[in-house]
Amino acid sequence: MKAFTYERVSSPAQAVAAVARNPGAKFIAGGTNLLDLMKLQIETPTHLVDINSLKLDGIEATPEGGLRIGALMRNTDLAADERIRRDYGVLSRALLAGASGQLRNRATTAGNLLQRTRCPYFYDTAHPCNKREPGSGCSALDGVSRQLGVVGVSEACIATNPSDMAVAMRALDATIETVDADGKTRAIPIAEFHRLPGDTPHVETVLDPGELITAVTLPPPVGGKQVYRKVRDRASYAFALVSVAAIVQPDGTGRVALGGVAHKPWRIEGADAELSRGAKAAAAALLADAKPTRDNAFKLPLVERTIATVLTEARA
Amino acid sequence: MVGSDDLNLNRRDLMVGAGACAAMPAMPGTAKAQPGPDGNPVEFQVSLTVNGKSHTRNVDTRTTLLDLLRENLHLTGTKKGCDHGQCGACTVIVDGRRINSCLTLAVMQEGSSVTTIEGLGQPDNLHPMQAAFIKHDGYQCGYCTPGQICSSVAMLEEIKAGIPSHVTADLLAPVQPTETEMRERMSGNICRCGAYSNIVEAITEVVERQG
Ligand SMILES: Cc1cc2nc3c(=O)[nH]c(=O)nc-3n(C[C@H](O)[C@H](O)[C@H](O)COP(=O)(O)OP(=O)(O)OC[C@H]3O[C@@H](n4cnc5c(N)ncnc54)[C@H](O)[C@@H]3O)c2cc1C
Ligand code: SF4
Ligand code: FES
Ligand code: FES
């Protein structure tokens, strides 16, 4: 780990000012992703701004009838919140399918949204990786790509976003609230939050440097049967090969989002419209522009089968 | 002699093997002094309570809670397995919650109250979970055991607090301490010796005694 200076802040204004003052600074929340990457010198901040005392760890009702989730709320607390369990079950389920009890106790809402890819070459500093070192090349294209992306990929990067939580938030049409050093606030729909890799895979979201996430808001409950299904190499404590978040209404219409297949949670309006026609139609719409590798072509039929299982569960 | 092709092949196989967690951690080690932003390591003061005793220390900012416990406070019961959140050997209880002490900085724990395996109980005054692990042979080499015990103690509190898990069938019903629940909730603690079934028996005995 490279040496760094450290400070604690107690308000969002102090947090953004501290990062603006120190080029090379980063916020640290739970630390479960950032410290992991700092130990490998993949992340090398020269200053850490500890935001754990920001008091953004609660959840409150919005005037519109939805919920505002604090950026620092721990994944355990969010998954266990009564309103989330009752009205946004797919979010509870996605959170509980991720990581381990210990990690969820530390991981925060904002940190989870910003966790970086699990592409093995991103972690292995002995290999070229455009995301880690822009312009160095992508080792996964001709390498081991079993876990990597099949849609929205580019010549520069085929990595996936590893978050389970974000897939459920995509299905729920969440909005990410931020503030910057000038005090300017933004509300970013989650559909626009994560970027496709294109030729700048190191730029993963639309956040500006030093912009602080303060909350994630959920619109009023949409009801329906809410299911999150994660397919992985072992039954627990493993990242998704493919995951499906679905909200299915009694009349068979609904929404579906995928994890484990793209650089962002993957949802296509056209696929939602196909959902009532079944898994095959929905999967075809979601994967219309798929460009799998030989190693990960298995994800295409896996997506269809996982949607089929989810639809069966939703109708049960 | 191993040719370079063989080496490449091995590397590839290794990556396939890295499988589920994808990350390939470097060898675990303690934070080494490296030049800071201005060419020097940076020290910072932290005060926290460990097993009921308060400590104030100046530490290199890079020191994890795990390294503080082991290297600084010489509480070596807490183990370092992977140093990357992947094994659970470093599990301790902070302000009532289990966490991986390898993935938090010591300086981030200002004012925290930490319980390690040494604080749960001692040989002449065992915590019921420690006694149950001994009775049921919940280990072979014992390396993962402090983490398993701290994790299981806090895990039972999570069930009591009604926190659901991946295997909880009904998110709106009270959570029961079934074997399936316990196995899922303990998945963050890997046992290289595979003592899992005896670990489950040990935890089950504690649950039954608690009634
Ligand atoms: C072994 C292991 C297994 C895992 N398995 C899964 C899994 O199966 N599914 C899954 O979804 N996740 C998994 N995770 C990842 C885990 O969910 C993330 O590490 C965690 O959610 C990150 O949250 P954090 O608060 O610790 O983030 P941090 O590490 O503190 O921060 C992550 C990034 O977000 C930035 N940041 C944090 N807060 C803010 C803010 N408010 N505003 C702006 N920037 C901010 C930081 O600067 C940093 O760049 C796993 C992790 C490990 C180690
Ligand atoms: S897929 Fe992306 S993250 Fe993986 S090696 Fe290629 S550029 Fe790096
Ligand atoms: S040493 Fe912390 S999880 Fe392995
Ligand atoms: S007892 Fe040896 S690793 Fe668990």
B116 touches chain A (CB under 8 A): no
pLDDT in tens, B85-129: 999 999 999 999 999 999 999 999 999 999 999 999 999 999 999
Whether residue B60 is contained in a domain is answered as: no
pLDDT classification of B13: cutoffs 50, 70, 90: very low
Q: Are B36 and A97 within 8 A, CB to CB?
A: no
Closest-approach residue (CA) in chain B for A143: B12
Q: What is the mean pLDDT of chain B?
A: 87
Q: Are B158 and A99 within 8 A, CB to CB?
A: no
Which domain does B170 fall in, by range? 128-210
Mean pLDDT, rounded, for B9-34: 40
Q: What pLDDT was estimated at residue A175?
A: 98
Kindly give the distance from the C-alpha atom of residue B68 to the centroid of ligand 3, in angstroms, as a whole number. Answer: 14
CA–CA gap between residue B119 and residue B99 (Å, rounded): 16
Q: What pLDDT was estimated at residue B40?
A: 84
| DSSP string computed for B112-176 | -EEE-HHHH-BTTB--HHHHHHHHTT--SS-SSHHHHHHHHHHHHHHHHTT---TT-S-TTSPP-
Task: Tell me how many domains chain B contains.
Answer: 1
CB contact residues (below 8 A), chain A span 240-299, against chain B: none
Ligand 4 atom at shortest distance from the alpha carbon of B142:
1
Q: What pLDDT was estimated at residue B29?
A: 42
Q: Are B22 and A101 within 8 A, CB to CB?
A: no
pLDDT classification of B210: cutoffs 50, 70, 90: confident
Q: What pLDDT was estimated at residue B63?
A: 98
Mean pLDDT, rounded, for B184-207: 98
Closest-approach residue (CA) in chain B for A123: B23
Most A CBs within 10 Å, among B7, B90, B108, to test the A interface? B108
Kindly give the distance from the C-alpha atom of residue A159 to the centroid of ligand 2, in angstroms, as a whole number. Answer: 5
Whether residue B54 is contained in a domain is answered as: no
The domain that holds B136 is classified in CATH as 1.10.150.120
Q: What pLDDT was estimated at residue B28?
A: 42
Mean pLDDT, rounded, for B55-65: 98
pTM: 0.94
> Does residue B170 register a pLDDT over 60?
yes
Rounded to a whole number, what is the distance in Å from the CA of B84 to chain A's nearest CA?
6
**Chain A contact set for B186 (CB, 8 A):** 101
Q: What pLDDT was estimated at residue B36?
A: 55
DSSP code, position B99: E
Averaged pLDDT in 10-residue chunks for chain A of 316 residues = 97 98 97 98 98 97 98 98 98 98 98 98 97 98 97 98 98 98 98 98 98 98 98 97 98 97 97 97 98 98 98 94
CA–CA gap between residue A279 and residue A284 (Å, rounded): 8
Residue type, B132: A
Whether residue B158 is contained in a domain is answered as: yes
> Closest Cα to atom 48, ligand 1: which residue?
A34
**Chain B contact set for A147 (CB, 8 A):** 22
Whether residue B189 is contained in a domain is answered as: yes
Q: Are B161 and A46 within 8 A, CB to CB?
A: no
Closest-approach residue (CA) in chain B for A228: B166
Please report the sign of the dihedral spanned by the C-alpha atoms of residue A20, residue A22, residue A28, residue A31: positive
Does the beta carbon of B119 lie inside 6 Å of ligand 3?
no
Q: What pLDDT was estimated at residue A92?
A: 98
- Which one of B21, B42, B168 has the shortest CB-CB distance to A4? B42
A3 touches chain B (CB under 8 A): yes
Whether residue B152 is contained in a domain is answered as: yes
> Does residue B3 register a pLDDT over 50?
no
Which residues are within 8 A (CB) of B42 and not within 5 positions of it... i.e. 6 or more apart? Answer: A3, A4, A5, A6, B36, B60, B61
Q: Are B21 and A239 within 8 A, CB to CB?
A: yes
Q: Identify the helix (H) or strand (E) that includes residue B98.
A: strand B97-100
Closest-approach residue (CA) in chain B for A103: B99
B27 touches chain A (CB under 8 A): no
Rounded to a whole number, what is the distance in Å from the CA of A270 to chain B's nearest CA?
30
Q: How many CB pairs under 8 A join A and B?
A: 164
Q: Are B23 and A146 within 8 A, CB to CB?
A: no
Whether residue B138 is contained in a domain is answered as: yes
- The CA-CA-CA angle for residues A200, A203, A206, to 5°, reads 125
